[in-house]
Amino acid sequence: MTGGGPAVELAAAVRSGERHAVDALEEYLAAIAESDERVHAFNHVMTDQARAAAAAVDEVVAAGRDPGPLAGVPVALKDNLCTRGVPTTCSSRILDGWLPPYDATVVTRLRDAGALIVGKTNLDEFAMGSSTENSAFGPTRNPRNLDRVPGGSSGGSAAAVAAGFAPLALGSDTGGSIRQPAALCGVVGVKPTYGVVSRYGLVAFASSLDQIGPFGATVGDAAALLDVISGHDAMDSTSLPSAPPSAAARLTAGVEGLRVGVVTELTTVEGIAPEVVARVRQAADALAAAGAKVEDVSVPAAVYGLSAYYLIAPAEASSNLARYDGVRYGLRVPGVDITEMYNKTRAAGFGAEVKRRIMLGTYALSAGYYDAYYGQAQRVRTLIIRDFEAAYDTFDVLLSATTPTTAFEIGAKTADPLSMYLSDLCTIPSNLAGHPAMTVPFGTGADGLPIGVQVLAPALGETIMFQVAAAIEVAGRAQEAAVR
């Protein structure tokens, strides 16, 4: 077992002076120049800034100082993370021309760790979607098959890592937007415990659910990135004050004696393809063979996750997106008076899915309906938390499918929002609970496209979650080698 991956290896080579950050960066920029026209992972490539940052890292090494744990590693950022003076669009027309006056905390931490920000990646507008087709700038394509979606909403970040445009990327996950595209693109994606990573500078979608998290080609790379961005931040009032758990601490510890539960409601329910269920079972068997105690477990309220989410997330979104009114940010379409200006700006600036969410959320919060919809959804949320906590009395971690199927065709679900929403069936419960969860690639489907297995853990259980994910990664590779 190794604890690394391309990012960890590159950082070690740059720190030791064996490789120059500027040279490594040029290889990644060349890959972007060569293929991103077809994939469209990026909204904006920060070539000059990345080159300057790489040269600065090489100077620090030459001066005999430590450039940091991610020295010289290119990182792609979802375009809803604020970068000072660099366009941050959320893939929406409404932010046309807006330049953030500050960096998100995660961006500052990346720079301090010696990482190179290479660009801003495409997403579903304001992170609302599961395919990256709801972007004002056109869809991203899955690098493993250009006719398929990369998943969403962080599809650009997942595609950037899968295509080799950057060894690492950051996304945001409100209902699955890191894990779902990671699974469909065949990379590792992590939603940390709510409060472990600062949300300062993440453009808000649903504030009680949003978390920033890493993408990497391997479990070890994702762990290294999470360890750099996690930790308390006074600028985010929901940031946890305690020291964050280490993601990388036990990657090679194995799973002997650990208790693993396979969640019935998130694995064998209608709609999840048999080939996906089979991969979850194989991963569970591999853990059992490595010494874990594996059993099925029921988390009954998990089945209500999707319904509760589609009240809570739009409700919070309708409130968060009220600020885009043509006065302070980006686009303004003039009108005869201020009401007409608001109306014209919002009509022109937002896409159809964002408008649908704002309307649903406004309705759910309106007087007379508040308790029946929003209040009821919050009570369901409490039930979900309780059921997961009960499962964690008996199990250290849980396993499930990440997505119901492999990547679907571009255009297959755009006309039917409900079928699109079902893509996040297995990922949403962890956001409602605030617990961490991650996806690891484990084999492929009949179409040759990747399948991900989801590892879920209790709040602040990142160390053990990564430990189990690393064991699944090793088993998956051994299986692949045996097939060849």
Q: Which is nearer to ligand GLN, 4 or 129 (CB)?
A: 129
The least distance separating ligand GLN from the CB of residue 313, rounded to whole angstroms, comes to 5
278-to-103, 272, 285 alpha-carbon distances in Å: 43, 10, 10
- List, in sequence order, every residue forming a beta bridge with 86; answer none if it has no partner: 83
The least distance separating ligand GLN from the CB of residue 174, rounded to whole angstroms, comes to 4
Kind of pairing between the strands at 211-216 and 293-297: unpaired
Q: Catalytic residue among 177, 198, 318, 430, which?
A: 177
Cβ–Cβ < 8 Å for 179, 437: yes
Q: Which is nearer to ligand GLN, 131 or 463 (CB)?
A: 131
List the strands of the sheet with 211-216, edge to edge: 42-45, 116-121, 74-78, 168-173, 211-216, 188-191, 437-444, 450-456, 397-401, 259-263, 293-297
| DSSP-assigned states of every residue in 136-191 | TT----BTTBTTB---SSSHHHHHHHHTTS-SEEEEEESSSTTHHHHHHHTSEEEE
Name the residue with tokens 């755009």: 414
Q: Which is nearer to ligand GLN, 301 or 432 (CB)?
A: 432
Q: Which is nearer to ligand GLN, 188 or 287 (CB)?
A: 188
Q: Which of 74, 165, 78, 85 is nearest to 111 (CA)?
A: 74
The least distance separating ligand GLN from the CB of residue 178, rounded to whole angstroms, comes to 7
Cβ–Cβ < 8 Å for 124, 131: yes
Residues contributing to the site for ligand GLN (CB under 6 A): 127-130, 153, 173-177, 205, 313, 424
Q: Which is nearer to ligand GLN, 130 or 239 (CB)?
A: 130
Cβ–Cβ < 8 Å for 248, 467: no
Is 230 annotated as catalytic? no
Find the residue with minimal CB distance to ligand GLN.
Answer: 177
The least distance separating ligand GLN from the CB of residue 209, rounded to whole angstroms, comes to 8
The least distance separating ligand GLN from the CB of residue 26, rounded to whole angstroms, comes to 33
Cβ–Cβ < 8 Å for 181, 150: yes
Is 78 annotated as catalytic? yes
Q: Which is nearer to ligand GLN, 113 or 321 (CB)?
A: 321
What is the spatial distance between Cα 454 and Cα 284, in angstroms, rounded to a whole number? 11
| CA distance from start to end of the chain | 20
Is 92 annotated as catalytic? no
| DSSP-assigned states of every residue in 45-58 | E-HHHHHHHHHHHH
Kind of pairing between the strands at 259-263 and 397-401: parallel
Q: Which is nearer to ligand GLN, 425 or 449 (CB)?
A: 425
The least distance separating ligand GLN from the CB of residue 277, rounded to whole angstroms, comes to 21
The least distance separating ligand GLN from the CB of residue 296, rounded to whole angstroms, comes to 27
Q: Catalytic residue among 91, 131, 135, 153, which?
A: 153
Q: Which is nearer to ligand GLN, 177 or 439 (CB)?
A: 177
The least distance separating ligand GLN from the CB of residue 47, rounded to whole angstroms, comes to 28
Q: Across the chain, which distance is largest between two alpha carbons, in Å? A: 71
Name the residue with tokens 């599809």: 155
| DSSP-assigned states of every residue in 246-277 | PSSTTTTS--TT-EEEEEGGGTSSTTS-HHHH
Active site residues: 78, 153, 177
